[in-house]
Structure 1
Amino acid sequence: MNQTVLGILQEFDLDTYRPIVPRSLNLGNALPPRAGNLVKVVTGMRRSGKSYRLFQEMDALLEAGVPAEAICYFNFEDNRISPATPQTGDAVLEAFRYLAQQAGANLDGIYLFFDELQEMKQWGSWLRRIVDTTKATIYISGSSSKMLSTEISTEFRGRAIDFELLPFSFRERLTMTPDGAELLKGPHFSPRLGARMQAMFDEYLTRGGFPAAQGLPTSQAIALLQSYVQRVVTRDVVERHDIARPRVAAALARRLMGLNGKQISLRKIENDLRSAGIATGRAYLADLLAYFEEAYLVFQVKEFSLSLSEKSTTRPKIYAVDPGIALASSRAGACERGQRLEDAVYLELRRRHPSMRDGGISMLHTKQHGYEIDFVVGDALEQEAFRLIQVTESMEDEKTAQRELRALWEALDETGLEEGLLLVGSGHETIYENNGRRIVQASAWKWLLDDSETGM
C-alpha cells in the first residue's frame, strides 16, 4: 500500500475548512452511487474556490445522512505524490477502502471527490475505468476549460457535465459580511444603506472576488493576486504547453490584464513587445491567448453579427476572470474603474447564462453608424438577440449620456427589441422612452444583487 497516499487521506478533515462559505453555483442533486454514473466536473481558474465548492457538496451529503467513511476527497495537486499517475489514483482507492474497512464501514456505494485531477497523467482513461467499474458518485475539479472537450472527448462524450466556477460574485462577497443577510434583503434600500452598498461595491471592483484576498491588507491582497497570475503563467501555460519563451507569456498576461474590458490587437501587442526587446509573433501570441483563456485567466467576447453572410473583422474584447486580479496585475492606471465595472457585469452574465453556447454573450456594432453595444445576450448561431446591455461609469456627463443612449436606441431599432438595459456605476435610476421602445437605466450594483433567474 502507498503509505504517502494513505497518510494524505488520514490527514484530511473537513472540519478544518469550516465554516464553508456557500457558493451559488448549483451542481444539482447528488446522484445515487452506481457504475456508469454521470461525472460532475467543476472547472475554473486556480484559487477561485473549486475545492470549497466540493467541500460544500460533501457537507450536504453528510447532512443528508451519508456516512463520512463513504466519502473520499483527494487533491492530485499535492506535491507529495507528484507526478501523479493512474497508479496513484489506484492507490487512493485502495487506501480509501482500507480505511473504511478499518472503521468497520459496510459500504454499498461511495462518493469520490477528486481535486485538480488534470494533474494526473492519462487521467481521462483512468477515470473512465473507475466510472465503469465502481459503484460511485463522482465529482472532479480542474483548472482547464478543455477538460470535457479536447482532453477526454473520446472517453467521456455524453458521460460528464461541467460547471464553471468563477471567483465570488458581488452578492457572494456580501454574504461574508456579518450582516450580509440584512444587506441582501433589497430591492429597496434607504439612502444610508444605499451609500454603504455603493462603497462596498467600489471595494469589490478594487479587491475582486478571489476568496483568499478578502480581508487581507491591500498590499498583501495585491501580492496574492499577482502570484495567482504568475502561477497560471507557469503551471497552466508554460509547463502545460511546453512554452519555450516564458518571458513572452508573462508579458502578454500583464498586457491582457491592463486591456481588461477593451478590444485587443495582437499586432499592436506584438509591436509593443518588440519595442520592449521581447521578440515574438502574432501567431505565437494567438496561441498564448488561447492557453490563457483555457486556464480561465481571460475570456474573449466577439462581435454578434446579424447576418450569417457577414464575417466580422471587429477585434474581440478581452475580460479578466476577476476585476481585482486585473487591477493588481496591470500597470498603474492601465485598468480603470469603468473597465472593471464592465468586467464585473460580463462575469455576472456568464454566471447567469451557463448553458449558452459560445457566442451567447457578444458585443455589437450597429450597422448604420457603428455604435458599440457592450453586451448582446442571445444565440449568435441562430442570429437571435435577446437582450442589449450597455455599461457606463456615469451618465452625469452630457456627451457620455448622449453617446450611450444613441447607441442603444439604434441597436434596439436594428434588432427589433423593445427594451435595452443601461447599467451605471454610480448615479440615479430612470427610464427613457422613445417610439414604443424604452431603455431602463439601473444601478450596476443593484443589478448584480438580483438573484432572479435572469437578473434582468
Structure 2
Amino acid sequence: MEENFASLEKYNFWNGNVPELGFLRKEYTDKIFDYTGNKLIKVLIGQRRVGKSYILRQLAYRLISEGTNPENIFYINKEFTEFDAVQNYQDLEDLYKLYKSKLKPSGKIYLFIDEIQNIEGWERFVNSHSQDYVEASELFISGSNSKMLSGELATLLSGRYVSFEIFPFSFNEYTGITDKNASKQSYIEYMESGALPELFVLPNEETRRNYIRAIKDTVLLRDVIQRHQIKDPKLLEDIFIYIVNNSSNLLSITNIVNFFKSNNRKTSYDTVSNYLGFIENTFLIHRAERYDIKGKETISGNCKYYINDLSFKNYLYPGFGYGIGYKLENLVYLELRRAGYEVYVGITRNKEIDFVAKKADRLIYIQSTYLLLGEDTIRREYNPLETIKDSYEKWVISLDDISLPSQQGIRHIRVWELWQELL
C-alpha cells in the first residue's frame, strides 16, 4: 500500500492542494451539510457521471473552509486506476492506516469514499468506523447502484445512514452554469441538450455524443453485464433503447416482450423483467407506478419509465419519433424527484393524471403538456384534474409564454418557473 500514498496525496486537499471542484451544486451541499456533525453515514447515490464526486469534494472543501484541518480529510475514488490495488475492505483499511501513520491527524477524521460499491466487503469498513467511539470519524460515501443499501446491508446500517439521490443538472443549475436567463427559449435549449455535468466542458456535438455513448456502454457493461453475467448483452441494450424511445408512455413487460417477438427476437417475460430491473438499479431509468386516486393505493401492471437524462435520447437516438411533450413530461418528473417528491401516475375515473406528487403532507396533481393551444387542448388537460374532488393542489405545466389564470382552483405554471413552486 506504500506506493498508493502518492495517489492519496494527489487527490486530497493536503499541502495546499485543491482538487477540481466543478460547478457548485449548492442545493445538494446545503442539504447534505445539514446532516454533518454526527455519526450518520452520508450516502450519495445516482447514475455514473451525474456529479457525485464533485459534490463529495465540494463538501470536503466546505469543511476545510469552516476550519477543518485538510489533513483530517481522507478521500479516495475507486473509479481512479491509481486505486485499483484497493480491492476489498482489508485493502481499504490498510490504506487508511497508512494515511494515519503518515499524517498523524488529530481529532475527528472525515472519510470520503467514492464509488464504494467497487470495494468488496466495503460495508464492514463503513460499519466499523461509523460506530467507533474511541476514534472519532464521519463518513461520506457514494455509489452507482440503487441496491447498494438494500437487504442485509440496510439491516446492518439500519437507522445509521441518510441517503441522497443525485440527479443531472436541474434547469436552475443549467442557467447557472451557462449564465442564461430562465425563459422559454433557454428551457427548450436545456431540453434539447443534456444535463450531465461533463457535457458543459466538451467542445462540440460529436464529442458530446461520444461521451454519452461511452457512459451508456460503461454502465451497461460494468454495472449490469459483468455484475449479473448477462447472457444476451444485445437484448439488454435493445431494452434500454426501447425504454428511451418510449419514455413517458404507459408500458408493461408484456408489451415489451411482444414488441421483441414481433421483430423475431426470442425472449421471455422473466428475462425482460430482470433486465429492466438491472437497468433501473443503475439509475439510467426510473419507474413510476400507477396510483388509484380514489382508492389511495398503487396499482400493479402498467407503469411509466423516465430516463435519467435526455442526453441519451438527444445524442444517441434522435431519429426516432418522440414529441417535445414527452420530453417535457420527462423533465417535470425529474424535477419532482429532485425536490424530494414520491411520483406516481394518477388514475381517476378511467382518466390519467400525468403525476401524483407526494412529499410529507403535501400532495400535488399535475398535468404536463407542450402548449395549451386552443380550447380543445385546454379542456383535455384541465378536465381530468376537474374530476378530482379533494382539496389538494392541482397544476397544469406547459411551455406557454403567458401564464393563464386559475380555473376552478387549477393553477397554470410555466415549466421554467416550476422549481420555486416546489420548494
Query: What TM-score, normalized by structure 1, do the two folds share?
Result: 0.84
Q: Does the CA-based 8 Å contact 1:124-1:151 persist in structure 2?
A: no
What is the CA distance between 1:85 and its match in structure 2? 0.8
- Report the alpha carbon displacement of residue 218 of structure 1 after superposing the two structures with TM: 2.1
Q: 1:406 aligns with which of 383, 388, 399?
A: 383
- 1:115-126 matched pairs, under 5 angstroms: 115-126=114-125
Equivalent in the alignment of 1:193: none
| Structure 1 partner of 2:48 | 46
Q: Which moved more, 1:206-215 or 1:305-314?
A: 305-314
Question: CA, structure 1 residues 212+306, in 2 after alignment: closer, same or farther (shift >3 Å)?
Answer: same
Question: Does the 8 Å contact 1:326/1:335 carry over to 2?
Answer: no
Q: Hey, what does 1:28 align to over in structure 2?
A: 33
Q: Kindly indicate whether residue 247 of structure 2 is the aligned counterpart of residue 260 of structure 1.
A: yes
Offset at residue 287 of structure 1 (A):
1.2
Identify the residue that residue 331 of structure 2 maps to in structure 1.
344
Q: Structure 1 runs of 4+ off > 4 angstroms?
A: 307-311
Structure 2 SS opposite 1:303? strand
Q: State yes or no: 1:442 paired with 2:413.
A: yes
SS in 2 for 1:316: strand
Give 1:363's aligned residue.
345
Distance in 1 between residues matched to 2:298 and 2:248, nearest whole Å? 22
Cα distance 1:241–1:199, how it changes in 2: closer, same or farther (>3 A)?
same
Inter-partner Cα distance in structure 2 for 1:326 and 1:140: 30
Q: Give the AA of the match of 2:126.
A: L
**Alignment pair present for 1:285 and 2:285:** no
When residues 328 and 260 of structure 1 are mapped into structure 2, their CA distance, relative to the original with a 3 A threshold, is farther
Report the residue type matching 1:328 in the other structure: Y
Deviations 1:352-387 (A, max 9, x none): 125xxxxx31111221xx2211011237xx9x9821
Asked whether 1:91 is paired with 2:94, we answer: yes
Residue 391 (str. 1) matches residue 373 (str. 2): no
Q: What displacement does 1:251 show?
A: 0.9
Is 2:49–2:196's contact at 8 Å kept on the other side of the alignment?
A: yes
Q: For residues 327 and 152 of structure 2, what CA distance do their matches in structure 1 show?
A: 32
- Choose the corresponding residue for 1:233, options 216, 220, 241: 220
Q: Are the counterparts in 2 of residues 207 and 214 from structure 1 also a CA contact under 8 Å? A: no
What is the CA distance between 1:120 and its match in structure 2? 0.7
Higher mean alpha-carbon deviation, 333-342 vs 139-148, is at: 333-342
Query: Partner of 1:431: helix, strand, or coil?
Result: coil
Q: Report deviation, 1:220.
A: 2.1
Question: Contact 1:304 / 1:376 at 8 angstroms: preserved in 2?
Answer: yes
Give the letter for the 1:204 counterpart. Answer: Y
Range 110-119 or range 86-95, more displaced:
86-95
Tell me the number of residue pairs that the alignment of Structure 1 and Structure 2 aligns.
413
| Cα RMSD for the two superposed structures | 2.4
Structure 1 residues 25-424: aligned runs within 5 Å: 25=28, 26-29=31-34, 31-32=36-37, 37-80=39-82, 81=84, 84-101=87-104, 106-133=105-132, 134-150=135-151, 152-178=153-179, 183=181, 197-216=183-202, 217-306=204-293, 308=295, 312=299, 315-330=302-317, 332-353=319-340, 360-367=342-349, 370-378=350-358, 386-410=363-387, 412-413=388-389, 416-417=390-391, 419-424=393-398
Residues 331 and 249 (structure 1), Cα distance of their counterparts in 2 relative to 1, 3 Å cut: farther
- Per the TM alignment, residue 343 of structure 1 is displaced from its structure 2 partner at its CA by 0.9
Classify 1:287/1:390 alpha carbon distance in 2 versus 1 (closer, same or farther; 3 Å): same
**Amino acid corresponding to residue 231 of structure 1 in structure 2:** T
Q: 68-77 or 219-228: which moved more?
A: 219-228
